[in-house]
Structure 1
């Protein structure tokens, strides 16, 4: 079988970005979110029983969850500089979209770009949940192995989602600022005679919290702070408008469910039976895109809320293709994607077994 090359794919016609289509996607996402919150305000202020109010709010929880997922997906496109024609527009709207879910877009996008550069090279990139190699897993104690299994169970999508969107950016900011301030003071009072003042603005990797993707440099730290300040001000406003208990519980639930969907989708698009999982010396970026990225056969309405990220092989072949061109590009190149993995919703649960990387045989294997 001949090896498929990137040049075999018809990609160029689909690289064209369109500001009108991009703007429509932003408007058709943000306006419904605002409208839903206005409806929620009306519901909770009606003289109805708590039970009736709860029933009326259920569909709006689901709708906000889906729109939150779409907001994240559009932010993802901005991070690839693929939604709008100009980088500045992508940065601006990416930052605004990040505010909706309380996540700093720049740091997230830099971390996500690392994934794209190394997809399928499991020696460098261990997937969305930091999969252990078989050797690493076997070196764990029984208690550590049990903890590993539990923390990578599909049920952990929910506490994981809560941590990812609600807690992580806030904790990251607090810890980074604390460590960075401590570092600056040490540099200032202990080593200033041997260091240039400009070097004091360099954030070294040692000041990053171990769980955070944030704070690699001063620019990322600034955006992290600005994002959190604006987000927290927004939360305070919403608490005053809707009530602190209602908003924080309702909004946390929405973000938890939304993040769970996103983490689940990202997981099954890279962790599945026979996924491409090579060592560095045998890795190829094109094979990583075609064989290491699954495509999802899901309903069109769900694809809309995920901004067509289901067509994932094409997305990995060329991250600059805007989401509104992914489907057409996928169809135009479907004859070259016969080796790619296609998953249905019913297949998702099976993917969560593949949480060990057999580095000798270069494949993902299930835990018994």
Structure 2
């Protein structure tokens, strides 16, 4: 569902990201320590309430406690996300410290994610460059026949919600995937995560048993990855949003029109600090999460007809899972059935 409205600016091949950024007031880029630390306090309290609910909920309410806690922990990721983009604090060491602390309960390596995520922002929806939910070409799909293509089929259809787990395990614990200059930081982050896991998991088993480990860690962690998978696939994947070859990719056009604004239930938006108000974030990563809605309003006023807006629903996820499979330069995507039929 694309929202169409009048715009005061026209998007052309000459438009630059700087031109779009200039339509957003500079005050929306300012870091406000009180707002930033209030977000931290809010997420700490929310997660604390979630863990209390797990401790005292009867068995039939436990799924609700898992969902609430995992969603609150997703808010921790968003705080770390601001830190990774240096939009939490003006001090690098504060961003790194808070980012690592926010990511630790999620067993997520901060620097490894930060470097890969920065690459995603530089090459959003660019084939062979973007590392977030990019679609296989027919050639990649055929070459990967077997385990790779079968896993790809799973996460592009009804099992999209495990995509984040595969991305987490595949990219962030191998320093060889990073340039030499980044490897020491990558190693520091994943070693810290491994050390944290080596302490917290046995401690949970010792204090609350295997059932407690599942209740307090595994299930909220899976809910967190459900939201990570859902948010990130929806951010740039729609049947009519194209990935493009390098020669046809244009930074301003593809960041503005290739990013999706998706409305979720209010409690999800609150707990996750408006991360799904995502278009302004791809115009500039310097906008703190607490200013995303203000920046989005400016984009609506100035570039409204180019914004892709939708609302979360299971029907939306079904549509993505049914249609957004294999890259096609002419119509964005081909389905697995179309590709398999053509090659049979």
Q: What TM-score range do you get, normalising by the shorter chain?
A: 0.7 to 0.9
Cα distance, 1:338–1:29 mapped onto 2, change above 3 Å:
same
Matched, 1:36 2:58: no
Q: Secondary structure at the match of 2:325?
A: strand
Equivalent residue for 1:152?
156
Cα distance, 1:215–1:240 mapped onto 2, change above 3 Å:
farther
- Shift, 1:365, TM fit: 3.6
The total of aligned residue pairs comes to 319
- Trace 1:41-190 onto structure 2 (pairs within 5 A): 41-42=55-56, 53-125=58-130, 127-128=132-133, 130-137=134-141, 148-158=152-162, 160-162=163-165, 168=169
Gaps of 5+ in 2: 1-9, 338-344
CA contact (8 A) 1:278 1:362 kept: no
Distance, in Å, in 2 between the alignment partners of 1:269 and 1:218 is 30
TM-score by length of 2: 0.82
Equivalent residue for 1:50?
none
- Shift, 1:121, TM fit: 1.2
- Trace 1:316-355 onto structure 2 (pairs within 5 A): 316-335=282-301, 336-346=303-313, 347-352=316-321, 353-355=323-325
Q: Secondary structure at the match of 1:269?
A: helix
Distance, in Å, in 1 between the alignment partners of 2:231 and 2:54 is 28
Matched, 1:280 2:246: yes
1:12 to 16, 20, 26: 26
1:162-215 per-residue CA deviation (whole Å, 9 max, x = no partner) reads 5556xx28x975xx5xxxxxxxxxxxxxxxxxxxxxxxxxx6x3xx5xxx9999
- Shift, 1:150, TM fit: 3.2
Equivalent residue for 2:226?
260
2:203 to 223, 232, 237: 237
**Structure whose CA Rg is larger:** 1
1:126-172 per-residue CA deviation (whole Å, 9 max, x = no partner) reads 532x42113433566599766642343232524x455556xx28x97
Distance, in Å, in 1 between the alignment partners of 2:149 and 2:81 is 33
| Higher deviation after alignment, 246-255 or 96-105 | 246-255
- Shift, 1:349, TM fit: 2.4
TM-score by length of 1: 0.77
Q: Secondary structure at the match of 2:40?
A: helix
Q: Secondary structure at the match of 2:236?
A: coil
Q: Secondary structure at the match of 1:296?
A: strand
CA contact (8 A) 1:10 1:333 kept: yes
Distance, in Å, in 1 between the alignment partners of 2:186 and 2:149 is 35
- Shift, 1:85, TM fit: 3.0
CA contact (8 A) 1:19 1:85 kept: no
Distance, in Å, in 2 between the alignment partners of 1:213 and 1:251 is 33
Distance, in Å, in 2 between the alignment partners of 1:145 and 1:240 is 40
CA contact (8 A) 1:290 1:340 kept: yes
Give the 4+ runs in structure 1 shifted more than 6 A. Answer: 212-215
Equivalent residue for 2:3?
none
1:18-56 per-residue CA deviation (whole Å, 9 max, x = no partner) reads 11111111111113323432453355xxxxxxxxx3124
Gaps of 5+ in 1: 44-52, 177-202
Distance, in Å, in 2 between the alignment partners of 1:162 and 1:127 is 13
CA contact (8 A) 1:215 1:224 kept: no
Cα distance, 1:164–1:279 mapped onto 2, change above 3 Å:
closer
Could you say what the CA RMSD is over the residues aligned between the two structures, in angstroms?
Answer: 2.9
Q: Secondary structure at the match of 1:55?
A: helix
- Shift, 1:234, TM fit: 2.3
Structure with larger RCO (C-alpha < 8 A, sep 6+): 2
1:225 to 181, 188, 191: 191
